[in-house]
A and B are shown apart, each in its own frame.
Chain A
Amino acid sequence: MLRCRRCGRCGALAFPPQHYGCEACGALDAERAEELVAPVGSVLARATVQRDVFGHAVPYTVVEVALDAGPVIRALAADERGAGLVIGGRVGGVLAPNGERRGDDDVLALVVTVEGFGDPGGDPNDRAAVHGAGGSGS
């Protein structure tokens, strides 16, 4: 579950959580409360990173997900090349190693996977088809 903050004044649901106040209406954090949200939603966009200036192992894939609960999150995809991720497809977050180490331990973080989150249901004209549409001439 993702820890979000629900504003008691305007109803906005925010992720990531912070204690400064509501970005939608400016309410103090005292007027907000924690709400646990299922990390389940639909893919908005994907990007496989092939060059990284901060030393993260490449490739890795970042995915933007519109959660059913409302917030949009960006997280690491479980598959380094984002296999199976289609725009509009159903995905969910699981706790898994994110490829980083802290001492002798893997760092666990929320990563996004299609496994176990149902039929992709996405646009069948996905990446392969769209990107195979060919050059537009030069």
Chain B
Amino acid sequence: MGATLAELRPVRVVGVGLHPYQRSSETTYVDLGLTAVRGALDDAGVAFDAVESAFTATVNVGFAAGRTMLRYLGATGIAMAQCENASASGSTAFRLACLEVATGVCDVALAVGVDKLALPNMAPSKAGVRDLLGSRLLPFTHFALLADAYLHRWDLPPEVLAHVAVKNHRNGAANPFAQRQKVRTLDDVMAEPIAGVLTRLQGCPIGEGAAAAIVASDDAIERLGIDASRAVTVASSVARSEQLVGPGQNWDTELTRATVGAALDAASVGPDELDVIEVHDAFTIEELLYLEAIGVCPPGEAGPLLLDGAWDIGGRCAVSPSGGLLAMGHPLGPTGLGQVAEVTRQLRGEAGVRQQPGARVGLAHMVGVGAVCVVHVLTAP
């Protein structure tokens, strides 16, 4: 086994920035990305020439996205690389930036996620392995199957799932960076069935946007005069991929259980200590399954606890306070970095009307097609 992040030198998030997630527009990806990066530089109070390494996460922009965008911050000659890891691309770019700082390869690293709307150029369909359903098995249907099994197992009505969307749309309505900023009623959410019990508003919108984070060592924080009282610690970073599971088990859930378990262990944090969780809630059923896999409650109880307000801002643990993928949106490359931005603001106490009171420990969780999973635990300054 290699070292965990906690065994290397400390890594702090010193700056975060976003371009609002939104429907497809004429805005170039360069404008989207630069807005987020300049926001993160301003937030950190550093100039671009302090950054020594940059990872650009994108799924749809294409070949050579990083330098084409970052050149307009001044050509400083730094290391640049592009990172694609399905829906976990932004989380992976953040992890790579953290690892460079933790290992001492550099003192200040940037991770930026940026994307425009397009039909992704997907590898799985190129493997030549034909299943029985082909294009009939879209993500909506995959998660509708999980929803059917879950509701049946725990004898719950479909409205429980819809309440996940009601909560996350309420949070998104208070987030100026969210693609969906409208409060939705239970009736709104239950309308427009797509697959099984899942309705249109129980699936995330995919559009465009950007998110960025700057991570730094303590040496750099001191040398550059960065405000250490706003620097959030990256307590752990864990990435894993799918293993085979038995009938009736779900690979995304089991992968989440393994990855989060390792991330909490590495950070020496228990699930009951989490104040804020940004979870991969691309579909409502995922939030309940992943909360149980994270271990914040026993299996079957995430839904009833949701109805009791346990996952609201101000509840036991704020889940998807940004609005999550369901309301903030899922522009692919930026998504994982948008989670880091939200958790960072929460742990600094700078989340405004979405602030979880007294938030000290946060977790950001993404899964991606493959399946892959990337989890970070962050702790307050």
**Which A residues are within 8 Å of any B CB, using their own CB?**
12, 16, 18, 20, 23-24, 44-54, 56, 60, 62, 64, 66, 70, 72-76, 87, 109-110, 123, 125-127, 130-131, 133-138
Contacts and interface: CB of A to CB of B under 8 A. Distances in A.
B8 interface: no
Nearest to B160: A136
B224 interface: no
B145 interface: yes
Contact of B196 (A24, A47, A70, A74): A47
Nearest to A75: B132
Which of B136, B137, B145, B197 has its CB near the most chain A CB atoms (within 10 A)?
A: B136
21 contacts: A23-B244, A24-B244, A44-B145, A45-B146, A49-B136, A50-B193, A52-B138, A54-B135, A56-B135, A62-B141, A70-B247, A72-B247, A76-B136, A87-B148, A87-B149, A87-B152, A126-B152, A127-B152, A133-B155, A136-B156, A136-B307
Main secondary structure of the interface of B (DSSP, over half): mixed
Contacts of B129: 16, 18, 20
B248 A66 contact: yes
B179 to A, nearest CB: 19
Given A48-B195, A133-B157, A138-B166, 8 more contacts: A20-B127, A49-B140, A50-B195, A62-B145, A64-B145, A66-B247, A131-B151, A138-B186
Contacts of B133: 62, 74-76
B128 interface: yes
Interface of B: 127-133, 135-138, 140-141, 144-149, 151-152, 155-160, 163, 166, 185-187, 193-198, 244, 247-248, 307
B151 A130 contact: yes
Contacts of B247: 44, 66, 70, 72
Contact of B157 (A20, A48, A134): A134
B157 A131 contact: yes
A86 B222 CA distance: 63
B159 A135 contact: yes
A6 B171 CA distance: 49
A50 B132 contact: no
A97 to B, nearest CB: 14
Given A18-B128, A51-B194, A62-B141, A125 B155 contact: yes
B145 A47 contact: yes
Given A46-B196, A49-B141, A64-B145, A74 B157 contact: no
Contacts of B146: 45
Contact of A46 (B131, B145, B194): B145
B201 to A, nearest CB: 13
Contacts of B137: 62, 74
B92 to A, nearest CB: 23
A130 B155 CA distance: 6
A53 B196 contact: no
B157 A49 contact: no
B145 A45 contact: yes
Contact of B132 (A12, A110, A136, A138): A110
A23 B166 CA distance: 39
A74 B247 CA distance: 12
A109 B157 contact: no
A47 B157 contact: no
Given A74-B133, A135-B186, A47 B307 contact: no
Nearest to A48: B196
A44 B136 contact: no
B196 to A, nearest CB: 3
Contacts of B141: 47, 49, 62
Contacts of A136: 156-157, 159-160, 163, 307
Contacts of A127: 152
A66 B129 CA distance: 20
A25 to B, nearest CB: 10
Q: Which 9 A-B pairs have the closest CB atoms?
A: A47-B196, A47-B144, A66-B247, A138-B186, A45-B145, A45-B149, A45-B148, A75-B132, A54-B135
Contacts of A46: 145, 148, 196
A44 B131 contact: no
Nearest to A53: B138
A44 B151 CA distance: 12
B374 to A, nearest CB: 22
Contact of B195 (A20, A47, A135): A47
A66 to B, nearest CB: 4
Contacts of B155: 125, 130, 133
Contacts of A45: 145-146, 148-149, 152
A130 B132 contact: no
Nearest to A88: B152
